[in-house]
Structure 1
């Protein structure tokens, strides 16, 4: 079982005859044989790492590989921590929804949009109401008008099975 993913060739894994070598402090040592470069790295008690395998000749650097991998992992964690994850929240309604229930769904949608989440609004048709999709379209138009201050329609209404679906994204600057 491998614990770390290995992206670079190090030390004896490098089989090229000639390499362009960069020293620990970033200075170029020039084009030398792989054997010489490996000896230089071992003298300084460091590793020879191939950092640009596609270059001609390949570029290698003398460095502490363990420290390099650790710092790279640290940078990746930091980048991941700074990412904003956007969830898709769903608000479901029936085509025969009552006024107060509709207002509750609107308030719930506004809360989601203020939180910066995308919103999927669906109107579910039960039994014979599926024969009258215009009621669902009217309901979604009314819903769109109610939340227009906080969100904009990303994808227009469309039928998915027995549901009429619309996607809404938050407006920039309106979230807390």
Structure 2
């Protein structure tokens, strides 16, 4: 059985966009039936049970490469992002982000900048561009068209500015990333 089995079209589309840039990423978990989800302690309404989520092994990957992967996953269409010690969760469910205790409060500081939080200090992202998505959020009361245009602009900025440093990717994974020139 392939990890792609039972996945939603939206999740596969986002996954294919992400892996077109990164090559194969090591998947820890994708679709889970309710029984399997219960056994592994998954959330009662887990996006894994709907075929909407992938958990990716990032053990050994430096924080700047993880941040670039998060930004690229968001640009590829993933809207739910979970950040754990050795894994990242990407899903196409509602837009949200969380850390180890499944709340936004536990999102690591280094990852917060991908979601409009404060940027890490101390040069943690040397050599990688950062985008402050918080400044790109639609203002309350904007009409739907203006909101869509602003969201598209944010996605375009993420796409342009959140490329991974190939040297960091090779150092963390032992293989070269797939590069595309658009």
Q: Which range, TM-score by smaller chain?
A: under 0.3
Tell me which of the two structures has the higher relative contact order, counting C-alpha pairs closer than 8 angstroms and 6 or more residues apart.
Answer: 2
Structure whose alpha-carbon radius of gyration is higher: 1
Question: Which one has a larger percent helix, Structure 1 or Structure 2?
Answer: 2
Q: TM-score, normalised by structure 2?
A: 0.23
Question: Which one has a larger percent strand, Structure 1 or Structure 2?
Answer: 1
